[in-house]
Structure 1
């Protein structure tokens, strides 16, 4: 009897010890934000044994994850940390880091707490100014974690960042072995350096639509179009037809533009725009046939302005981005100054999600204009990037172009926007076929006249009226132009110690984009409405004159 009792005790102790120190585990983790479970999450899953940790997710294991997705594998014997991504159905990429685990430094605490019944110790580290608390247990004799952080501490059952975001173990299963097929060792052919890996993974997360690549925008009577890229106005306007795919509602759209001097030393007005072609007369016809076919706007100041306002037969161009070239970036970088490292190219990136309705699932004509009279001109590249469901913002489903006074056919004789020297200003009357809810005016404005008293350098109030009543008034002015000095190698330097590119300007700087202003109009009833823009434009001085490039797009629901 005594022998049976001893055998039973030995059996219990053996089973208990086996329960405490399994040879492998599967741990499932839930994500919490401010103490609440994140809805619709993809749970993190790890498998760990004495020599390996494999990190995957619930959706990956169920084979219903969307591309791209990542998996991680730690080989403890070789101290190799593999990151593997499936970027699409046919492509897998990987990278390996042999020192990432060793670089981690921790501060240890005497605090303990129980997670899933296991006593856990606390360690803390800091990553990119984020405080990371790691709770790990040594009771199971294994090591592993749901991220790269804390892999050698023990079995990590909780990671909390800045006290408000946590990954916490919700299930733990003891295993004899990690199941066959779970650990996916990267193919050596897929392994690349870590920077290339990160770049390819990043690019796989959004759609890039190339539009122009290193195209020259210059002034030359020798300019010719080709099969895909149209060139107009003596080469100062380029355009092409682009098919935009069908993306989910709420996706974010961005314009990515690079520009550098190809011989022109001056700061120039630029615009990225879409040409609506639904109206009887449209701007693409004018680019091909001449400005004479465009409807004329007059306000009594004695001049005629071609193609600037909406009418029953004409829709003005829709401006996506207004930008300004710096003084000679790239081509004139040989002009050296002590302690100045010139940039090679100007880069502009601006969100245009509010205009997605005119782009999504459409074939559109996209154009770029840079006003210049230089034979070398400028070199530009343009891409549109679409980031699906990035924030799922509600976007306008009705977009109505109202006016655009920027004379993109300047070098083909289109008049400068000097209509604001009249008290009447710019007046546009239009008709809504149906009610427009939550209406807004997307308004872009920049002042020009590049001498001491020109409107480029003199603040001027812009006043917008709807149906005769003032709805918005402000003075557009940029005071941060000196921030972009390193983009302006050919900028003139003056006796007072300032460079031309340092001076504040009317809503722009050499090397920047101009942000739209969004003006709430409320709910507009169907029928006729009038929008008026008034600006106290400066007087001419000799041959010098001021002008204001303003564009307005109405949108709502």
Structure 2
């Protein structure tokens, strides 16, 4: 108080930081007329307006101690704040003034703390509240047939591996206590072009390391080839590898469906346009709490970008793990995660077929619920593809889902907001009518965006065997343009935890 400054401190990543705030830089109060007596002191009333919030303060200058519960709201250097009311509905009132003998400071070496400014201190505060698990950092995803496939016996946690001619990066991570006890988990992906000019299909996915009776996963195909995957045959006798769950096989759990922009970063300087301030990168972030199998000890996390470019793309991926504050409710349930189907061909660069069966067939998957699931939902992600004007990328198509013969969901998945992301697409083609390719509306995706899943409630489903059917009005192929759909379906919910 004697120096008329406030020093705020925080410990973060084994360092102590401090912010120094002069009193005269604090928000200025407005004098109010209704005084009050608190703890025997006649207290004056002032109010602050801060970020459209009203904070009412009652304070006295007659006490030896000085200060405030919130360092932003100090009427003057002689004040002791005894009451605060936030927006008229949250009240904090002092009930005693007690002298503490031999108080110990929270940090003993404040003099050597790192001095930071206001904005830096706010950043540190926010970062200190949650954990960040780095998965990939500036990893290259490209087409490189010379890449050597690692041997299964050599796979270890926390090491990055490249598969499918370089188009997939994969890492095994441990499930930390923070992940197990999290309130929310977000996947944050950053992409930049490293030479590829085109918009590409991308997927972030999880493969459980513990197979739980499943004999085969997509990891087996990455290691030993497509012939490890079970084959689904449509009415035209065309084969699709590993697209539905079977007794011995489960598809990967897709946690992010994304699309790269046209050449962000790499092509920024190669196509300069006045008043077009190209983005330096694209950041995708989505909550994936229900899709991370936190009952496992370890999981594989991968990123796929379909491309045949030697430069390809650069990706960074992290999980942002936010803690559960109400600990009394932790571990009373366990997650139920059951991937039923996925036509996202993450082995495209190894010959895995596109999901083009819907033109002549219905995708059918039999599944069993071994017990009743709380809050059972189907997370359904769908995007249409097939170039040129009449391709399914540019033509709205109906999607329908049936369970046990009953229609439970239908939608025409479509995005009309793609022009919003023009500044992430420097290499996008510009047409004579003034449009850019990245502006065009598409079947549920845009260059440089995420495609979040539709959430379909299925609380009516009980324990037992069921049949799910996916019907898409896929158009006919046009010349060399092949229509296809990337879809994934994952059942999620909660199971009772028998240990509680």
Structure number with larger C-alpha Rg: 1
After TM superposition, the score normalised by the length of structure 2 is 0.89
**Aligned: 1:415 with 2:353:** yes
Q: Does 1:492 align with 2:423?
A: no
Separation of aligned partners in 2, 1:523 and 1:145: 53
Q: 2:370 aligns with which of 398, 410, 433?
A: 433
- Alignment of 1:146 onto 2:69: yes
Q: In the alignment, what sits opposite 1:318? A: 253
What residue is the counterpart of 1:85 in the other structure? 10
Aligned residue pair count: 476
In structure 2, what is the equivalent of residue 238 of structure 1? 169
The answer to which of 338-347 and 128-137 deviates more is 128-137
The equivalent residue for 2:462 is 525
Q: Distance in 2 between matches of 1:296 and 1:112?
A: 79
**1:516-535 alpha-carbon deviations (Å, 9 max, x no partner):** 11111124333321101111
Q: Secondary structure at the match of 1:114?
A: strand
Alignment of 1:168-187 (within 5 A): 168-173=93-98, 175=99, 179-182=102-105, 186-187=109-110
* Residue in 1 that maps onto 2:341: 403
Q: 1:260 to 1:100 in 2, by over 3 A?
A: farther
For CA contacts below 8 A with separation 6 or more, give which structure has more relative contact order.
Answer: 2
Unaligned 5+ runs, structure 1: 1-75
Deviation at 1:494, TM superposition (A): 1.8
- Please tell me whether the aligned partners of residues 26 and 72 of structure 2 are also in contact (alpha carbons under 8 angstroms): no
Partner residue in 2 for 1:213: 137
Aligned partner of 1:331 in structure 2 is 266
Please list the CA deviations of residues 486-506 of structure 1 after superposition, one character each: whole Å capped at 9, or x if unmatched.
211111122222221122221
Aligned to 1:475: 412
Which deviates more from structure 2 when the two are superposed, residues 77-86 or residues 450-459?
77-86
**Could you say what the CA RMSD is over the residues aligned between the two structures, in angstroms?**
2.3
* CA distance in 2: counterparts of 1:234 and 1:92, whole angstroms: 43
Deviation at 1:480, TM superposition (A): 1.7
Alpha-carbon shift at residue 96 of structure 1 (Å): 2.9
- CA drift at 1:249: 4.3
**Distance (Å, rounded) in 1 between the aligned partners of 2:284 and 2:23:** 34
- SS of residue paired to 1:234: coil
Question: Do the aligned residues in 2 keep the contact of 1:310 with 1:401 (CA within 8 Å)?
Answer: yes
Does structure 1 conserve the Cα–Cα contact (< 8 Å) formed by 2:380 and 2:453?
yes
- Offset at residue 385 of structure 1 (A): 2.0
Distance 2:105 2:165 in 1: 62
Confirm or deny: 8 A CA contact 2:233 2:239 kept in the other structure: yes
Map residues 200-349 of structure 1 onto 2, 5 A cutoff: 200-224=124-148, 228-247=159-178, 248-249=180-181, 251-276=183-208, 278=211, 279-334=214-269, 335-349=271-285
State the partner residue of 1:354: 290
Displacement of 1:475 after TM fit? 1.6
Matches within 5 A, 1:491-510: 491-510=428-447
Q: Give the SS at the match of 2:467.
A: strand
Deviations 1:311-365 (A, max 9, x none): 0111111101111111111101112111121111111111111123x13552111
TM-superposed deviation, 1:464: 0.5
Tell me, in whole angstroms, the C-alpha distance in 1 between the residues paired with 2:91 and 2:423: 42
Q: Which runs of 5+ in 2 are unaligned?
A: 496-500
Match of 1:163 in 2: 88
CA distance 1:522–1:126, shift in 2 (3 Å): same
Q: Is the 8 A contact 2:26 2:73 kept in 1?
A: no
TM-score (norm 1): 0.80
CA distance in 2, matches of 1:178, 1:107: 36
User: Which of 386, 389, 394 is the matching residue for 2:321?
Assistant: 386
**How far does residue 297 in structure 1 lie from its aligned partner after superposition?**
0.8
The alpha-carbon deviation at position 178 of structure 1 amounts to 7.2
Q: Which residue of the partner structure matches residue 17 of structure 1?
A: none
Per-residue displacement from partner, 1:462-510 (whole Å, max 9, x unpaired)?
A: 1100011101111211222122122111111222222211222211111
**Distance (Å, rounded) in 2 between the aligned partners of 1:390 and 1:325:** 36
* Stretch deviating more after TM superposition (411-420 or 336-345): 336-345
Distance 1:397 1:183 in 2: 39
C-alpha distance 366-452 of structure 1, shift in aligned 2 (>3 A)? same
1:127 aligned to which of 50, 68, 89:
50
- Deviation of 1:141 (Å): 6.5
* SS of equivalent residue, structure 1 residue 343: coil
